Amino acid sequence: MTTTVQGLDRRTFLKLVGGGIVVMVSVGPSALLGQERRRGYPEDLNAYLRIDEKGHVTIFSGKIEMGQGVMTSQAQMAAEELGVGLDSVTMVLGDTDQCPWDSGTYGSLTTRVFGPALRAAAAEGRAVLMQLASKKLGVPKENLLVENGVVSVAGDPSKKVTYGELAQGKQIARLVDEKALLRSVKEFKLMGASPKRLDGVDKVTGRAKYAGDIRLPGMQYARIVRPPAHGATMKSVDVSAAKEMSGVTVVQQDDLVAVLAGDPETAAAALGKVKAEWTKPSLDVDNDGIFAYLLEHAPAADVRLNRGDLAAARSSASRVFESTYNTAYLAHAPMEPHTAIAELKDGKMTVWAGTQTPFPTRDGIARAVGLDPKNVRVITPYVGGGFGGKSSSRQAVEAARLAKAAGVPVQVAWTRPEEFFYDTFNPASVIKVASAVDANGVITMWDYDVYYAGERGTGIFYEIPNAMIRTHSSWGGGSGAPTAHPFAVGPWRAPGANMNVFAAESQIDIMAAALGIDPLEFRLRNTKDPRMRSVLQAAADAYGWKAAAAPSGKGRAIACGIDAGTYVALIADVKVDRATGNVKVDRVVCAQDMGIVVNPDGARMQMEGCITMGLGYPLAEELRFKGGDVLDRNFGTYHLPKFSMLPKIETVLVKNDELLPQGGGEPAIVPMGAVIANAVFDATGARLYRLPMTPARVLEGIRKAEKKT
Partner 1 sequence: MKKTIQFRLNGRPTKLTTDDDRRLLWVLRTDLDMTGTKHGCGAGLCGSCTVVVDGKAVRSCQTPLKNVDGKEVLTIEGLEQNGKLHPLQQAFADHGALQCGFCTPGMIMNAYALLQQQPQASRDAIAEGMERNLCRCGAHQRIVAAIEEASHAKGGRS
Q: Which residues bind partner 1 (CB under 8 A)?
A: 66-69, 196-197, 199-210, 212-213, 215, 221, 263-265, 332-337, 382-387, 413, 415-416, 601-602, 605, 608-614, 634-636, 640-644, 646, 648-649
Residue with Cβ nearer partner 1 (382 or 451): 382
Residue with Cβ nearer partner 1 (498 or 527): 498
Residue with Cβ nearer partner 1 (307 or 648): 648
**At its nearest, how many Å lie between partner 1 and the CB of residue 245?**
13
Give dist(CA 459, CA 469) in Å, integer.
9
Q: Give, for 558, the enclosing helix (H) or strand (E).
A: strand 556-563
Q: What angle do CA 505, 485, 253 make, to 5 degrees?
A: 140
Residue with Cβ nearer partner 1 (264 or 308): 264
Residue with Cβ nearer partner 1 (262 or 478): 262
DSSP state at residue 389: T
32: left (phi over 0), alpha (psi -120 to 50) or beta: beta
Residue with Cβ nearer partner 1 (125 or 384): 384
Residue with Cβ nearer partner 1 (200 or 228): 200
**At its nearest, how many Å lie between partner 1 and the CB of residue 607?**
9
Give dist(CA 364, CA 368) in Å, integer.
6
CB 340 within 8 A of CB 401: no
**At its nearest, how many Å lie between partner 1 and the CB of residue 411?**
10
**At its nearest, how many Å lie between partner 1 and the CB of residue 332?**
8
60: left (phi over 0), alpha (psi -120 to 50) or beta: beta
Beta strands in 118-208 (DSSP E): 144-147, 150-153, 156-162, 171-176
Residue with Cβ nearer partner 1 (126 or 604): 604
**At its nearest, how many Å lie between partner 1 and the CB of residue 616?**
9
CB 279 within 8 A of CB 237: no
DSSP 470-536: EEES-TTS-SSSPP-SSS-B---SSTTHHHHHHHHHHHHHHHHHHTT--HHHHHHHH---HHHHHHH
DSSP state at residue 198: T
CB 317 within 8 A of CB 436: yes
Residue with Cβ nearer partner 1 (332 or 404): 332
**At its nearest, how many Å lie between partner 1 and the CB of residue 367?**
29
**At its nearest, how many Å lie between partner 1 and the CB of residue 390?**
10
**At its nearest, how many Å lie between partner 1 and the CB of residue 355?**
13
**At its nearest, how many Å lie between partner 1 and the CB of residue 305?**
33
Strand pairing category for 89-93 and 57-61: parallel
Give dist(CA 365, CA 363) in Å, integer.
5
Give dist(CA 95, CA 124) in Å, integer.
24
**At its nearest, how many Å lie between partner 1 and the CB of residue 14?**
34
Give dist(CA 582, CA 701) in Å, integer.
12
**At its nearest, how many Å lie between partner 1 and the CB of residue 228?**
18
Residue 348 CA neighbour count, 13 Å, CB half = 8
Give dist(CA 359, CA 100) in Å, integer.
9
User: How far is the CA of 345 from the CAs of 94, 375, 376, 413, in angstroms?
Assistant: 21, 10, 11, 21
DSSP 569-619: EEEEEEEE-TTT--EEEEEEEEEEE-SS-S-HHHHHHHHHHHHHHTTHHHH
> How many Å is the Cα radius of gyration of the chain?
27
CB 633 within 8 A of CB 521: no
Q: In what order do the strands lie in the sheet with 648-653?
A: 556-563, 566-576, 583-593, 648-653
Residue with Cβ nearer partner 1 (66 or 366): 66
DSSP state at residue 281: P
Residue with Cβ nearer partner 1 (20 or 561): 561
**At its nearest, how many Å lie between partner 1 and the CB of residue 152?**
34
Residue with Cβ nearer partner 1 (425 or 522): 425
**At its nearest, how many Å lie between partner 1 and the CB of residue 524?**
29
Handedness of CA 639, 496, 476, 284 (dihedral sign): negative
**At its nearest, how many Å lie between partner 1 and the CB of residue 166?**
34
**At its nearest, how many Å lie between partner 1 and the CB of residue 72?**
10
**At its nearest, how many Å lie between partner 1 and the CB of residue 203?**
3
Which residues, other chains included, contact 580 with Cβ-Cβ below 8 Å and sequence gap of 6+?
695, 699
Residue with Cβ nearer partner 1 (6 or 220): 220
Residue with Cβ nearer partner 1 (66 or 570): 66
Residue with Cβ nearer partner 1 (242 or 610): 610
CB 156 within 8 A of CB 138: no
Q: Phi, psi at residue 108, to the nearest 5°?
A: 50, 45
Residue with Cβ nearer partner 1 (506 or 612): 612
CB 173 within 8 A of CB 10: yes
Closest of 632, 622, 641 to residue 691, by C-alpha: 622
Residue 56 CA neighbour count, 13 Å, CB half = 8
Residue with Cβ nearer partner 1 (205 or 318): 205
Residue with Cβ nearer partner 1 (284 or 643): 643
Give dist(CA 330, CA 328) in Å, integer.
6
**At its nearest, how many Å lie between partner 1 and the CB of residue 158?**
37
**At its nearest, how many Å lie between partner 1 and the CB of residue 375?**
28
